[in-house]
Structure 1
Amino acid sequence: MLKRIAVDDLRLGMFVEELCGSWLDHPFWRSSFVIEDPRDIQRIQESSVRELWIDVSKGLDVESKTASAQVVQNTAAVDQMLASANNGLEQKNNLVRIPAVRERIRARKILANSKTAVSSMFKEARLGKALQAADAIPLVEEISGSVSRNPGALISLARLKTKDDYTYMHSVAVCALMIALAREMDMSAEDVREAGMAGLLHDIGKMAIPLGVLNKPGKLTDEEFFIVKNHPVAGHEMLTEANGVSDITLDVCLHHHEKVDGSGYPHKLAGDQISKFAKMGAVCDIYDAITSDRPYKKGWTPGESLRKMAEWSKGHFDPLIFQAFVKSVGIYPIGSLVRLESHRLAVVIDQSESSLLTPVVKVFFSIKSNTRILPTLLDLSRPSVNDRVVSHENPEKWKITDLDEVMDSANLEV
């Protein structure tokens, strides 16, 4: 049985199932382990993680009997928070959105070009060469063009990273997420470009981290964790010496790990001390980080990641910016596996412009027979379609490993 507890209630002998926060917030490479060392309790309590899940069937329980009730309360609050993002959804009348499956063809080429450009730029930064911000403008504009045609196409592809290109493609993904979020927030064209550039360069400071530490698959030492947490400061120093870098990009680089409750780093800023762009960067950075596979942890699904972020949002994120972010990626993001009321599984291939709750899906699996079925495209927003999404599903549970291929084999018309 799982229980959610405060870090102050953590004791030796408890089995930690999951720390409630991004793995960027703590030095533990494993998500599940037994607390056997008092120093591990201290490290958790000194991190910005405030709550965690324990499995009482594998370790000691807490004395309090309120944990189960708290779980029910938290689950209901998360459901309500995500559903509320559907309220006030506005169709952008000035945009002509093309189908995501069609844009994904173009987005693949953009991502290939982006990988080459960003890896070259970052490798030069690792060698100590001054960055030229103007060189990145065409790349930001190309990514922005794809996002304007269909936000979810490039973003869904950018999650598919290898361990070797993670840092580069993470920057590209955050650039796209920042652009999509800025557009959702009705920012000016200039601010949308600024958001994209800030997203692209927010993690340049990781080039100051030794590769052995940056790509380490095991538990970080305290000294190594300190080096990793210093990357915003290192990046800010790099960008200060670069040419043509705006104050907004400098700010996002330095403050994208700050949290609204003041528990972030490097300066423990809180609330309005954190700029709007830095708050945007915090949301976009975390989302891509936790949906991506890393050497030490498999990424969560898009839907699972949004639920985790909703759990953390009270202390971590600005609530209005997080709600806008959910609108920009969808309650059921493109690439998500979902269960339908008809007892079938489907992959989300596009968003409806009228409701976040009724995406376009490709049905391909029968739960009743536990087998693949003839693929069918459904636009759940159409009145003639008598079906709906009832939950997110984890592909691993169903031994589905080819969701990306399933998506790309979809017809271009619904």
Structure 2
Amino acid sequence: MANFKPELLAPGGSIEKIETALHYGADAVYAGVKGFSLRAISELDESGIEKALSFVKDKGKKLYLCLNLFARNEDIKELEKFIHFLKKYSPDAFIVTDPGVIGFINEKLPHIPIHLSTQTNTTNSASIKFWKKHSNIKRVTLARELTLDEIKAIRKDISDVELELFIHGALCLSYSGRCYLSEYLNKRSANRGDCTQPCRWRYSIVEETRKGMYFPIEEDSKGTLIMNYRDLCLAKRIPELTKIGIDSFKIEGRNKSSYYLASVVRVYRDIIDTFLKEGENFSFRQEWLDELKKISHRGYTEGFISVEDDDSFFYEDNYIQDYIPVGIVKSVVKSFANCKVVNVEIKNQIKIGDIVECLLPGFKTFRFELKEMMIDSNDRLEKAHPGMNIDIKVPNIDIKPGDFLRKKAGN
């Protein structure tokens, strides 16, 4: 275990998100192939994949491509048409669910490793041995429904297959994401990348002879969101999971924002690195959890790994969002002795007098009062709006392109 270092794997729903994930410390990213993954609105086409692979390789990192939809016959035919591209631009691995797609890859692209998606519901060692024997998989993403003891037992039994585990992000009400509710209600299948998230809606009972009279479904005294899961957060479990020998820690969120990625990746990067450095002297720091609570979330749970009786899966309200991103640094325009001028792409409204935080890689945060904004280097602004590119003065800190700026929500 002395030289063991788990991989930090982040979602890459777009080129900007891939750049952000690597900027803040991810070792690898996973991205969906257009038409073949489970996040239809966050997939890459051929040009996007080519650009992503070039960028990732230049950074010395890894890119895994998701081909993890439940395939129909027409999907396999479409995959045949895509094979020339995949041969030319080989990713570091494919993340796959369907046995037919696995067989296709083993036949057509045997040199590219296969990672088994969480959609296969892998909950025991025998399943992993089966997939290894018949499909030559390199890695398995374990089901979120496993307890800590079950994960330990699987790791003890399996030494020739890498184990990957989700550590942060949204949880699905259905077993490892195999949900049919969206397809039933909206004709949009979660198993084909088009989930409308009806589990997040509010529901009531209507008695058939009393139309228009809605009776609340009472889960408990706090509310009626009977299928609304909290978000997974295993930040405190990273040392234990590292000791067990989990090869890759995976963050959910291909549909989430670049700011979400910046915040989450830098926290887990710092936890992993600090534990590897401090070893048995490691102690969890509240500032890590405080940072994770600053991004939009539904409340946190440790899920099936938790042993706490009060760690509820269900969340009684909507998103919590204490801070909002206001911009991303595009370039450093000028440097002076006591300040810098940076060009920023504005994400949310910002105005003179706002208290702004700059999120730097390495879990460094600098807070300053915004005193000067300019457009075209001359015209001074009192307020800037989303979509604008402006120059602002910041303290003389180690700020770089790709760094995010944020402020407290409601200010």
- TM-score normalised to structure 1 length: 0.27
Which structure: larger Rg?
Answer: 2
TM-score under structure 2 normalisation?
0.28
Name the structure where strand makes up a greater proportion of residues.
Answer: 2
